[in-house]
Chain A
Amino acid sequence: MSGGEHALESRLLKTGSERLALLGKHADVLMQAYTRDEVPLESLSDSALRKLLAARILWRPDEQSGVKLAPKVRELIAEMLADETRRHVNADVAETLELIRALVHSYREARSRGEHGRLEQQLMRLRQEVDDLNGRFADAIDSLWQRLNSDFGFVSQLNDKIRENDRAQKQIARLLDGLALIDFDELIELVGSDGGLRKLLISQLQQQLSHHYTSLREVQRRLIELMARFRKQQARSRLISGMVAFMREHPGFVPGNYARRSEVPGLVNQAAPLSAAAAPALDRNLECRLLADLLHRLPQPRHTTQTVEAAAPAQAQESSLAAARQQALKQDVEHFYLSVIDQPQAKPVSALDYLHASPLEWPDEIWLFQVISEYQGLPRSDQKAFRLKQQESQASQFNHLRLIHDVELQLAV
C-alpha cells in the first residue's frame, strides 16, 4: 500500500517537473500567445505542440479554431506580470468551503479509525486549502491596490478608467459576498473539540479574513472616491468643451449683468483690488534714525558716463544759431591752441593777448572760459603736452573766491 503510494507520488513529481519545464522551454512562444489571440504554430514542432496540449498549457476550443493559451496559464502569466488589464480576481469561496467540509469529515474519520498516515495527509491538505483561500483574497486585494494606486494608469482614456473602476468595484462586491459565505458558527461546530483544527480553521482563518475584510472596505472606499474624482473631471471637460462650442456658435452671446441684480450672486461678487501702500514718515524720533540709517545704506546711484549720442538731445534743444556760435568759438580756440604749438621755444602765450591781437570779437570772459574748458576737455595724455597757468586774484579777504584775469598757455617741453 505505502509502496504504491510512493510510486504514485514519484510519478506525479516526474510528470509535474517535465510539464513545468515545458513552460520555460517554450516561454517565447507562450508569451507571443499571451499578447495575441492565438499561438503562432509555425515556431512549434508537432511533438512540442502535442506535449503542450497534453500538459493543458495550450488548448484547441474546436477543430476549426486555432490553438490558444489555456485560461489558467494566461492567469498565471498575468499574475506574474501583475498585468492589471488581465489579472483575474477569483475567490470562489463556496467551492473551497465544500472542500474544507469534506476534508474535515475525512480527517475525523481517519482519526476515529486511528489511520495516522491519512490523518496527517488530510491535515496537510486542509492547511493548503486554507492557505489557498487566504492567498486568493490577498492576491485580489493586492491587484485592487495596484490598480488604485496607479489611478488606473494602464488605460489612458478617462472613460476606460471609469469602466475599470466600475469593474474593480464589482469584484470587491463579489469578494465581500464570498467572505460573507464563511460562517464561523458552522465552522466551530464542524471542528468540534479538535485543537489543531480549531487553531487552523477558527482562530487563524478568522484573523486573516477580518484583516482582508478591513482591506477590502478600505479599497472600496478609495475606489468610490476616485470614481467621484473621475466623474468630476469628466464633467469639467464636457462643460468646458460645451461652453467653447456654444460661444463659437454664438459670437454675440452676452449673459445678463449679474452685478445689477438685487441679489448679486456670490460667485460674481469679487471686490476691487486694494493696495496697502505706505510711505516713509518722519514724525517719530526712533523711526527717523532708522530711516536715516536705511538712507545711508542705499546703494550709491551709479552715473553712467554719458556718450555723445546720449547727450545729443540736449544740444538739439538749443537754437541752431547758438549751436553755430558755440561751434565757431570752439574752432577759434582750437586755432589758438595750434598757434601755441607753433610758438618758437615754447613761449607761453596769453589768451587775452591772442584774442586782442586777432580780428576775433569774442567777449574776454567767454574766450577765457572756452580756453580753460578746452584744456579740461583734452584727453589726459594731451593735457600733459600743455601747461595752463591762470593769473588770478582773491576776490575778497572774507572768502576764498578767486577771480581769473587771464590764462597763459605754454607747450610743455
Chain B
Amino acid sequence: MIEHGPLLERLLAGEFVCPISDESGYRHLTNEETREEIDTYLRPLNRRLASNEDGSVYFLAWRQLNDSARDQLSRQLGDTLNSLLPLLEWLQLVQEALGRDTLAAPGDVLKPAEFSAKCEDNQSLRERLERLATDSFFGSQSDQLDAQVKQVFKRLKEHGYLLQPHSERQVFVVTGKIDYLVDMVRFIRDEENLPIEEGSEEGSGAQEALL
C-alpha cells in the first residue's frame, strides 16, 4: 500500500487520474487487485474508487451517500452546470481556431501562443474569445488578447482539464478529465431527453461485431 501513497494523495485531493496526468498511477489503477486494496483503504474515509464508463479516468466517489454528501454533490453539480457552457464553447473555439476536424482529446498538445495568433487574425474568433475569457468561469479582467488566453489556460489547468508538463514552457496537454466532461454532457442529454443528435454509432458497432 505504501507504494500507492502519492497516488492516494492525488485521488483524495480530488484529482482525476488518467494516462496523461499520472501514467504510472493510472497503470496501477487498471489492476483490479490494486483497486480493491485502495477501496479497502478508503472505506473509513467514506470514499471509493470510481471511473467513467470507458475507464479512461479514475476519481473518488462517496461510498455512503449521507445528507452532507448529497449537499456537497448538489453544490458541485451546480458548479459543473455553471461552468458547462463556457467549457464547451472553449472546446469548440479551440477546434475552429486551430482548424482541427475533431474536438480536443486527451493527449492533444495545445499552445496558447498558436491559439492567440489564430484569434488575432480573425475578428469573429477574437470576439468569441473575448466573451469567453470575461465569463465568470474564466474571469479575465484584461482586455489584452494574450492576457485573456493566458487566464483561460490557467483556469483550465486549475480545473484539471489541462496539464502543463514544464512550468516555464507555455505548452499544455489535454487530460482525460475532458472525457469525463463529455460523458457528463451525454448523461445530461440522456437524462433530460434533450433533442441532441450524436450521429450514428451503429456503423462502427456493427463493424466491431464483425471482427
Contacts and interface: CB of A to CB of B under 8 A. Distances in A.
21 contacts: A228-B208, A231-B203, A233-B103, A238-B196, A238-B198, A239-B185, A243-B189, A244-B92, A247-B88, A255-B191, A258-B73, A259-B74, A266-B61, A267-B187, A268-B77, A269-B62, A270-B59, A271-B47, A271-B59, A271-B62, A276-B12
B2 interface: no
B196 A239 contact: yes
B30 interface: no
Contact of B73 (A227, A236, A254, A269): A269
Contacts of B105: 233, 236
A308 interface: no
B70 A259 contact: yes
A75 B133 CA distance: 52
Given A240-B92, A240-B182, A256-B191, A221 B14 contact: no
A269 B72 CA distance: 10
Interface of B: 8-9, 12-14, 45-47, 50, 52-53, 59-62, 65, 69-70, 72-74, 76-77, 81, 84-85, 88-89, 91-92, 95, 101-103, 105, 180, 182-189, 191-192, 194-201, 203-204, 207-208, 210-211
Contact of A244 (B88, B188, B199): B88
A258 to B, nearest CB: 6
A237 interface: yes
B77 A275 contact: no
Kindly name the residue among A234, A244, A258, A272 whose own CB sees the greatest number of chain B CB atoms within 10 A.
A272
Contacts of A163: none
A255 B199 contact: no
Given A244-B85, A274-B45, 14 more contacts: A158-B101, A235-B201, A236-B102, A238-B196, A239-B186, A239-B198, A242-B198, A244-B92, A246-B195, A254-B81, A260-B74, A269-B65, A271-B61, A273-B14
B62 A247 contact: no
B204 A243 contact: no
A320 interface: no
Contact of B12 (A231, A266, A274): A274
A225 to B, nearest CB: 8
Nearest to B62: A271
Contacts of B183: 267
Contacts of B13: 273-276
A264 B197 contact: no
A237 B38 CA distance: 35
Contact of B196 (A224, A233, A242, A254): A242
A232 interface: yes
Contacts of A112: none
A271 B46 CA distance: 9
